Amino acid sequence: MTDIFIEAGRALLGHDIVETSLRIAGREISAVGTDQGRGSLGIDAGGLLVLPGIVDLHGDAFERQMMPRPGVDFPIDVALLDSDRQAIGNGITTVYHATTWSWEPGLRSGDNARCLLEAIESMRPQLSADTRFHLRHETHNLDAEIEIIQWLTEGRIDLFAFNDHSNIKPKKRNQLAERSGLSLEAYNELLDRVVARRPEVPASIARLAGAARAAGIQMLSHDDNSPEMRQAFRAQGVRMAEFPVNEETARDAAGAGDFIVFGAPNVVRGGSHTGWTKASDMIAKGLCSVLASDYYYPAQLLAAFRLAADGVLPLAQAWQLISAAPARAAGLTDRGVLAAGQRADIILIDDKLPLRPRVVAVIAAGRLVHLADASRLRSSSAAPRQAVAAA
């Protein structure tokens, strides 16, 4: 694998941004702050920010590549390759595809979940981002429990979330019926059958959480709406609160040391599209530890710069929300910071235009996988020239 030398960039080291150089050997950062032993490929990072790659715990924008319009399907392998290009192009070097297995047919069906899992597993060598499987389990999907426990036991699930979207407002059912391929009447009948089994849900959650704990898989609960709901999931070992819907619940999570995940689009747009908690307010109050791309891959990068521009957080701290903190939440100790021995997931950013950062280059696991400005390349280096002279 080609060694890479990144020269004279403004690098995020700890909580500071300093001008320095980095050397990459194989898949890892081998040295920080050195001009010795340059790699066979050089990158001039002058004037650019050099930042740890983005870690995205919850991204489901890949669904748009699978079904760009209701009822219009494209092959999963094509969708995953396109999603990989989008993720990498926006600086995301570790991506968890948030795959919903619902009680609905269609896009979020069991068949799709199985196909997605198999495709991710088989296509990982082709993908530039470190691509992982985040299963979003609809808690009323009771018939899926046995198979999901098997997946958990086999280590095929990288993150496991509990979701409950059974309380669907009537005005939204037309849209969901269209996505599932059912008539509105058939969708309502299915929903009635699902809700009728609600008394069975708590015991199912307990069994699934037990299987995830035994397998060492991190868990999230989605849309917690009260401190009591957060406390109940915490008691099951679920230590990530994903999109808590009010400040009271977020405060309970923060007080217990739980990770709190909000959507980066919420920051970029200035509020939630559902009318719930405003993420930038939660960040300012110390009630958010992770930002995820949610439904829009560019959002994490844009959100970090938006937080800095609005004076909510300095950029160095804002970047923690999309890199170091999500890595810690997922139990990934080898990435999220620029330091010797860490996985070489690095992005170079042109930040000249306010609120419009441009990804110039992306290195993932030591490979240059995206380059928007070829003039930055320095193909020769001191080390190869010395070797030739010695010969």
| Co-location of 163 and 22 in the same domain | no
Question: Tens digit of pLDDT for each residue in 68-123?
Answer: 887 788 999 999 999 999 999 999 999 999 999 999 998 899 999 999 999 999 99
| Co-location of 15 and 74 in the same domain | no
| Co-location of 300 and 234 in the same domain | yes
Q: How many CB atoms lie within 10 A of CB 282?
A: 21
Q: Residue 21: which domain range? A: 4-51+340-390
| Co-location of 70 and 113 in the same domain | yes
Strands of the chain (E only): list them.
Answer: 4-13, 16-25, 28-32, 41-44, 49-52, 54-59, 92-101, 130-138, 159-163, 218-222, 240-242, 259-263, 290-292, 346-350, 358-364, 367-371, 377-378
| Co-location of 46 and 117 in the same domain | no
Q: Is residue 201 very low, low, confident or very high in pLDDT (cuts 50, 70, 90)? A: very high
Number of domains in the chain: 2
Is residue 334 included in any domain, yes or no? Answer: no
Q: Of the candidates 307, 329, 351, which is a domain's last residue?
A: 329
Give residue 35's pLDDT.
Answer: 66
| Co-location of 266 and 368 in the same domain | no
Is residue 335 included in any domain, yes or no? Answer: no
Is residue 274 included in any domain, yes or no? Answer: yes
Task: Map tokens 């870690």 to a residue.
Answer: 55
Q: Is residue 380 very low, low, confident or very high in pLDDT (cuts 50, 70, 90)? A: low
Question: Tens digit of pLDDT for each residue in 139-190?
Answer: 999 999 999 999 999 999 999 999 998 888 887 888 888 888 899 999 899 9
**Position 382 pLDDT exceeds 60:** no
Give residue 173's pLDDT.
Answer: 87
Is residue 222 included in any domain, yes or no? Answer: yes
Q: Of the candidates 309, 329, 349, which is a domain's last residue?
A: 329
Kindly tell me the number of DSSP H helices and DSSP E strands found in the chain. 15, 17
- 3-class SS shares of the chain: helix, strand, coil, % to 5: 40, 25, 35
Q: How many CB atoms lie within 10 A of CB 211?
A: 19
Question: Tens digit of pLDDT for each residue in 213-243?
Answer: 999 999 999 999 999 999 999 999 999 999 9
Q: Is residue 387 very low, low, confident or very high in pLDDT (cuts 50, 70, 90)? A: very low
Q: Of the candidates 277, 297, 329, which is a domain's last residue?
A: 329
Q: Is residue 43 very low, low, confident or very high in pLDDT (cuts 50, 70, 90)? A: very high
Give residue 249's pLDDT.
Answer: 97
Helices 184-195, 170-180: crossing angle, 10 deg rounding: 110
| Co-location of 227 and 371 in the same domain | no
Environment class of 328 (CB within 10 Å of its CB; exposed 0-12, middle 13-18, buried 19+): middle
| Co-location of 173 and 254 in the same domain | yes
Give residue 2's pLDDT.
Answer: 73
**Position 283 pLDDT exceeds 70:** yes
Q: pTM higher than 0.85 for the full model?
A: yes
How is residue 223 annotated by DSSP? S
Question: Tens digit of pLDDT for each residue in 340-364?
Answer: 999 999 999 999 998 999 999 999 9
Q: How many CB atoms lie within 10 A of CB 237?
A: 14
Q: Is residue 383 very low, low, confident or very high in pLDDT (cuts 50, 70, 90)? A: very low
Q: Is residue 40 very low, low, confident or very high in pLDDT (cuts 50, 70, 90)? A: confident
CATH number, domain containing residue 43: 2.30.40.10
Is residue 226 included in any domain, yes or no? Answer: yes
| Co-location of 134 and 149 in the same domain | yes
**Position 391 pLDDT exceeds 70:** no
Beta bridge partners of 368: 363
| Co-location of 234 and 321 in the same domain | yes
Is residue 151 included in any domain, yes or no? Answer: yes
Give residue 166's pLDDT.
Answer: 86
Question: Tens digit of pLDDT for each residue in 240-279?
Answer: 999 999 999 999 999 999 999 999 999 999 877 666 789 9
Is residue 58 included in any domain, yes or no? Answer: yes
| Co-location of 311 and 366 in the same domain | no
Is residue 280 included in any domain, yes or no? Answer: yes
CATH number, domain containing residue 311: 3.20.20.140
**Position 385 pLDDT exceeds 50:** no
| Co-location of 141 and 267 in the same domain | yes
Question: Tens digit of pLDDT for each residue in 285-342?
Answer: 999 999 999 999 999 999 999 999 999 999 999 999 999 999 999 999 999 999 999 9
Give residue 167's pLDDT.
Answer: 86
